[in-house]
Each structure stands twice: as structure tokens, then as C-alpha cells.
């Protein structure tokens, strides 16, 4: 994969269904002309873009990454099988990591809620959190190694089917002024963006991403839900993201997915990923970065603290 250029502007937004802010972010970044859109996270619904097209004033150009990946798999069965085997390996790795993570996180929470000698508990709790961090980092290293091995073995960009679709994508991007990444299934979205190395084609064009798209754009993708239908609910590192930010982990729908009344659990999440900031992207939240301007955030944009609170990100990024 090529090293992508630094975009001239970035916008990370909360969910767009009820309080769309995409048009405002486009205006803030001074984007004129058409905008390439990535809706691969919607999977089979990828082309149901009427509402998105309307938000962008009729300027959306759908890259159809999900459909193009299906075309590649149909044209190159050998590559499709290798891709499937890799995904199965990732799933098994995630299951084993989650088994170890559950035990380590339960220790942290037990210590945080335990009465006793303050200094002793503080030291042991920090050691337990450090153990979780080590586990997270080790898992991410393994994931990166599998990605690297796959690239070295299969050279996706050099395969005819991938190259054909990527050339078509490059042609579409050449005629637009920015890239917009919608949410949905984060793994599928990240996978397709990586398969076609879309960021290297985007160059210095501004990038806007919301909900799951913002998660995919970060350095680390963290899945989180305190009360999922199945499992313990401990947040888990899934994969490396596109790396458009180095010090933020994006958490859309945080009021729905986290038990914010449980300050011990919320605080543990913030401490676990420190110094990266756990940024809550709720409806209406907008975080932008512009060349020669830096970061700006709306009041709806907040972060988790080690005390288990939500505080405005505005003061934090201004510091």
C-alpha cells in the first residue's frame, strides 16, 4: 500500500440520520465540486444513497466499493479464497483475544470497586490496566502482521481484477474535490477501503467520515457495547484503521452503547486507551481539522475522562 498524502482537511461527525451535519462540514472545509462517497459499510444497501445524495446537494459520486469487491472475488477465485481464509483467521484471533481480555478486564473492574488500602489498590489497579494495554497492543501487532503477510503473499494491487476496479475508482476520484466515508459495518468498510487503497488515490483532498466511517478512519478501531446481545461487553480492539488521526478513538452512539451511569467502567475505558482520547461522536457532533487552522469541535463533541465523566472536547483541543 502506498503512503497516503496528508489531507488538506478532515471532518469527523456523529451519526447523520437524525441531525445531519455533513453539509455544514462540507461548507466549513470549503469544499466545492463533487464528492466521492464510500458506503461499503452498508454492504448490500450500498447504492441506496438518495438521502446522502440530497445532503450533499446532488454532488455525491458513489465509489461502490462493496460491489467492486464482489466483482473482484468473482473474477479471481484464488484471491477470493485467500481473502476468506484470512478473514477466518482474524475471527479466530479475535475470539481468543476476547477470552483473555474478558478475564483481564474483570480483574481491573474488581480492583477498581474493591475497598481497601488506597496506595496498594492504586498500584495493583494500574498494573492490571497495563496488562490489558499489553494484551491490546499484542493483538494489534498480530493483526498488522497478518495484513503484511497477506500483502506480501498475494500483492492485491498487482492482481488484474483488483487493478481494473482500482483504475475505475481512480478515474472517479480524479473528478471530485473530497472523499466522504459513511458508517455501517466497520469491518466490511475498512476491508474494502484497504483492498483498493482508496486513501492513496484521494491525495490531499479533504476527507469527511461519520459514525462507523470515523471509527475506520482512526488509528485503532475499537468495538464497544456495554450490554451486547451476546458476550461480556468489554470494549475490544478490532483492527488498525486508516490512520487519519493518531491520538483519538471514535465512539459513535456512546449514550446508547455505554452505561454512562457506571463511572467506574467508563473511567476504565478512558484510562485503558490513554493517551489516545476516547471521543464521543453523538448526534450533531462535529470535529474538524484544517491546514493552518488545526482542530475545532462543536459542543456536542465530548471525550471520556479517567473519572468516568463526559467533558467537552473543545477545551481539550484548545489546550
The count of other CB atoms within 10 Å of the CB of residue 243 is 13
**pLDDT tens, position by position, 30-41:** 999 999 999 999
**pLDDT tens, position by position, 117-148:** 999 999 999 999 999 999 999 999 999 999 99
pLDDT-derived band at 4 (thresholds 50, 70, 90) equals low
CB of 189 within 8 A of CB of 223? Answer: no
Give the residue-averaged pLDDT of 149-177: 96
pLDDT-derived band at 48 (thresholds 50, 70, 90) equals confident
pLDDT-derived band at 166 (thresholds 50, 70, 90) equals very high
Q: What is the pLDDT of residue 241?
A: 93
Domain 9-74+154-318 indexed as CATH 3.90.1010.10: no
- Contacts for 78 with CB less than 8 Å, ≥ 6 apart: none
Give the residue-averaged pLDDT of 306-316: 90
Q: What is the mean pLDDT of the chain?
A: 93
Q: What is the DSSP string of 7-72?
A: PSEEEEE--SSSS--HHHHHHHTT--S-EEEE-GGGGGGTT--HHHHHHTTT-EEE--HHHHHHHH
**pLDDT tens, position by position, 6-15:** 888 999 999 9
Q: What is the pLDDT of residue 57?
A: 85
Domain ranges of the chain: 9-74+154-318
**pLDDT tens, position by position, 172-226:** 999 999 999 999 999 999 999 999 999 999 999 999 999 999 999 999 999 999 9
Amino acid at each position: 500500500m502506498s503512503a497516503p498524502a496528508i489531507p488538506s482537511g478532515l471532518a469527523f461527525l456523529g451519526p447523520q440520520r437524525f441531525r445531519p451535519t455533513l453539509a455544514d462540514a462540507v461548507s466549513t472545509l470549503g469544499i466545492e465540486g463533487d464528492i466521492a462517497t464510500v458506503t461499503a459499510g452498508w454492504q448490500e444497501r450500498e447504492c441506496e444513497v438518495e438521502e446522502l445524495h440530497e445532503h450533499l446537494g446532488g454532488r455525491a459520486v458513489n465509489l461502490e466499493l462493496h460491489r467492486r469487491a464482489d466483482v473482484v472475488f468473482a473474477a479471481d477465485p484464488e484471491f477470493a479464497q485467500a481473502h476468506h481464509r484470512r478473514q477466518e483467521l482474524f475471527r479466530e484471533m479475535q475470539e481468543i483475544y476476547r477470552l483473555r481480555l474478558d478475564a483481564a478486564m474483570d480483574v481491573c473492574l474488581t480492583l477498581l470497586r474493591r475497598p481497601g488500602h488506597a496506595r496498594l489498590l492504586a498500584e495493583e489497579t494500574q498494573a492490571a490496566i497495563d496488562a490489558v494495554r499489553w494484551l491490546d497492543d499484542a493483538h494489534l501487532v498480530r493483526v498488522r502482521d497478518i495484513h503484511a503477510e497477506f500483502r506480501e503473499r498475494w500483492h492485491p494491487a498487482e492482481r488484474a481484477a483488483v487493478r481494473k476496479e482500482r483504475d475505475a475508482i481512480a478515474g472517479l476520484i480524479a473528478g471530485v474535490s473530497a472523499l466522504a466515508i459513511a458508517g455501517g459495518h466497520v469491518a466490511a468498510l475498512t476491508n474494502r477501503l484497504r483492498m483498493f487503497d482508496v486513501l492513496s488515490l484521494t491525495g490531499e483532498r479533504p476527507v469527511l467520515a461519520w459514525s462507523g466511517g470515523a471509527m475506520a478512519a482512526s488509528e485503532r478501531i475499537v468495538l464497544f457495547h456495554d450490554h451486547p446481545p451476546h458476550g461480556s461487553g468489554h470494549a475490544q480492539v478490532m483492527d488498525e484503521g486508516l490512520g487519519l488521526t493518531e491520538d483519538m478513538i471514535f465512539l459513535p452512539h456512546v449514550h446508547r452503547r455505554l452505561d454512562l451511569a457506571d463511572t467506574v467502567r467508563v473511567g476504565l475505558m478512558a484510562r485503558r486507551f490513554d493517551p489516545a482520547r476516547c471521543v464521543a461522536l453523538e448526534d450533531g457532533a462535529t470535529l474538524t481539522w484544517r491546514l493552518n487552522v488545526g482542530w475545532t469541535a462543536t459542543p456536542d463533541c465530548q471525550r471520556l475522562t479517567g473519572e468516568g465523566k463526559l467533558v467537552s472536547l473543545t477545551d481539550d483541543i484548545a489546550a
